[in-house]
Chain A
Amino acid sequence: MTTTTLAVLVPLLPFLGAVAGLLSGRTAPGFVRPLAVLPPLGSLVLAALVAVRQGGGQAVDAHTELTPTGSVPIELALHIDGFAALVAVLVAFVAACVQIYSTGYLRDDPRYPSYAALVSLFTSAMLLVVYSGDLIVLLVGWEVMGICSYFLVGHYWETPEARAASLKAFLVTKLGDVPFLIGLFALATDAGSFRITRVLGAVAGGNLHHPTVVALLLLAGVAGKSAQFPLHTWLPDAMAGPTPVSALIHAATMVAAGVYFIARLLPVFEASSAAMLVLAVMAAVTMAGSGLAALAQDDIKRVLAYSTIGQLGYMTGALAVGDRGAAVFHLLSHGAFKALLFLAAGVIIHAAGTNSLAAMSRMHGLRDRIPDAYWTMTVALLALAAIPPFSGFFSKESVLGTAEHATGGHTAHVPGAAGWIVLVAGMVTALLTAAYATRLWLLAFRGKGAEAPDHGRQPLTMTVVLWVLAVPSLAFGGLAYRSLPGWFDGRDLAPTLLTSILGTGLALVGGLLTYGAWQRTTALAARTPIGAVAAHPEGDAGLVEAEAIATHEPAYGDIAYAPDPADPGRLLLGPLHRAAASGFHLDAVYTALFVRPVQAGARLVRFLDREVVETYVGAAAALPRLLGAAVRRAQTGNVQTYVSALLAGTVVLAVAVLLVATGA
């Protein structure tokens, strides 16, 4: 088979799996698991083949036009360069892991068939985005992901949190998608084509007339999808979905799509230095803010959600300093360790019976109950904190190194200010990342107090996946940083000495600070008992998690916050803690700025409709009604009356005709 055929099959396989799963889910439950697991595995094999054949060399391009579509043609096009080939391997890899993990995690879930089918559809849409060489086809995958995330985040739709979170995820990403669509049209109008290769050619030829407007419009869609400030608020709430879905959304699909999109169209953004500066500021605010917020979260998954936002900030930061190689490198290594973090968190939540770090810190012996999750989570957290030689170190250093290089203003198209912004924010975030990673690890695994509840052995499907993911988290960065430039733009991704020492040093400082704070506060834990545990030894992990999420607010008073004096984050953040826990009250700001005006407008419209329009309608109906009442009196039911009226009418008519005929 040619590379093109293989590449077409990569997104097609999960799509067919999803269709078959949706159709046969009820009638043939025995086929659901194979239909869920095999298509992503097949895609993984095919994507790996495509990557080997492409080999980072000449990009594979293929296109066909199904039907003429007016002025700017829309074509089914493939454009597979080194970025696309590698990202597709990551997507298929994480999706396969998530599907295998889900067979254990949602073992007894009644809605598992539709869940598995939607995950497959999600994967297929992301693969379409990755391989597509046409912007409109890319948009199709982009929007399919939006609707899939809506369904999957709302998987536990019995709980109000899940319903609200799924709606929020959908609406916020759509808020970005509207300018995104307009931006795509503007871009295609300037370039005369939706094909990515042609668009890039037009940019290189200087034919892009409004680069700043186009770039900013596209940036809005990317901010919504990739959860960048100020449209990031949906991501922490999306934790109401099952953990494997979070792993999928955060590691490989959805949030990666935005970063990947900028990486593909980076020359368009580089054409406008204002857009690059906006991108840098967005990345910096996102990084630093999410680091602070992650330090204050009580829900283990929300900590990871904010860390995803922060790591995505690194990627957009790398793009802001014009190095898409570093951005996609971080995307790849982050995909591996973030999937591992989420899947391990799922195991922890199942074993502990709670998603609250405060409750876990009052639990003894959790790490002995789940040694697999303990060791793999440790690896992943070290990778997240960018400690050498874990993979996160190399990718993060490549970002920081590029930013440092850009500060001198020597990088083409990149303002020096952008370099400084990204570099400083990246350093601060390195410290914060290490701090919240350490806090998570200490609270989850070094708890003191009552024995952790016994949930029995974790299913093999769940633990094996953790070890499979631990391998790239441990070794990918170190093994790949020399060979990756050949796949990407050819820029060196090796860590530079200065930023490596600075970044690692700050990370160590952050970790040690947190450890010190934890040493001081941990004694308080015994004095303030807190926690609620959902124990279902015979139930599957999904059930435990759904209960844990649903009971967090009644038990602790807030979905993100717990009144726990033993939390080292409280000591470190000081007065900022309360604000950080609620995401710096951004939701409240949005409520005041957007939700309330919209609701007031809706009330006004309702008033106008009910009181004004309906009055006119009622009045218009009143006159015919009166006339009808008058006419109705004539309907006596007596036939003879009717005939008399008929006679009278006839006589009148006859007389009239006679008078007219005689001319009187």
Chain B
Amino acid sequence: MHLAYPAVLSALLFCTGLYGVLARRNAILVLMSVELMLNAVNLNLVAFDVWLSRTVRETLHSGQALTLFTIAIAAAEIGIGLAIVLAVHRNRGTSDIDKLRDTAERPESEGPDTEGPGSSAAEKAEATA
């Protein structure tokens, strides 16, 4: 099989993932898109490893070994990511990334105090509900 097929496939997968990361609103879908990008990289790693092993006699297949590492780490990462999303959802009642803007830089006059009490009261209500 020519190297171009897996390379194009992985590029497509990566672009799909990138689009998802940039455009999706739901945090879970963003995480899934990150997985897509990771898997595109994995595919690349495996494909190029095979391609290299064809020309070089003795190889350690480090690309495939690295893929195994990536899969294991991605599993751990997605676990933590989902846990965070779950915690945020429980706390805020939403996992919409557009609404999670606490780190935004506000003008000093209308600091967190102006909308602070109302929103924090809403948060508490949500948390207890």
Contacts and interface: CB of A to CB of B under 8 A. Distances in A.
Interface stretch (B50-58, B72-80, B82-90, B97-105): B97-105
A589 interface: no
Contacts of B104: 635-638
A639 B102 CA distance: 11
A71 interface: no
Interface size class of B (residues with CB under 8 A): 10 to 19
Nearest to B23: A640
B18 interface: yes
A154 B93 CA distance: 70
Given A640-B22, A643-B21, A635 B105 contact: yes
Interface size class of A (residues with CB under 8 A): 10 to 19
A632 B102 CA distance: 14
Contacts of A639: 97, 100
A644 B22 contact: yes
A534 to B, nearest CB: 57
B115 to A, nearest CB: 13
A640 B105 contact: no
Interface in B8-47: 18, 21-23, 30
A605 interface: no
B105 A632 contact: yes
Contacts of A638: 97-98, 101, 104
A643 B21 CA distance: 8
Contact of B103 (A633, A635, A640): A635
A116 B119 CA distance: 66
B18 A637 contact: no
A643 B22 contact: yes
Nearest to A635: B105
* Chain A interface main SS type: helix
Contacts of A654: none
B21 A640 contact: yes
Contacts of B23: 640
A647 interface: yes
A639 B105 CA distance: 13
A639 B88 CA distance: 15
Contacts of B101: 636-638
Nearest to A642: B103
Interface string B104-129: 11010000000000000000000000
Nearest to B18: A647
A301 B101 CA distance: 78
Nearest to A633: B105
B22 A637 contact: no
Contacts of A635: 103-105
Nearest to B107: A632
Contacts of B107: 632
Contacts of B97: 638-640
Interface in A601-644: 632-633, 635-640, 643-644
Interface string A640-653: 10011001000000
Given A638-B97, A639-B97, A640-B97, A647 B103 contact: no
A640 B99 CA distance: 12
A621 B47 CA distance: 56
Interface of B: 18, 21-23, 30, 97-98, 100-105, 107
Interface of A: 632-633, 635-640, 643-644, 647
5 contacts: A635-B105, A637-B100, A640-B30, A643-B21, A647-B22
Given A638-B104, A640-B21, A644-B22, 16 more contacts: A632-B105, A632-B107, A635-B103, A635-B104, A636-B104, A637-B100, A637-B103, A637-B105, A638-B97, A638-B98, A640-B22, A640-B23, A640-B98, A643-B22, A647-B18, A647-B22
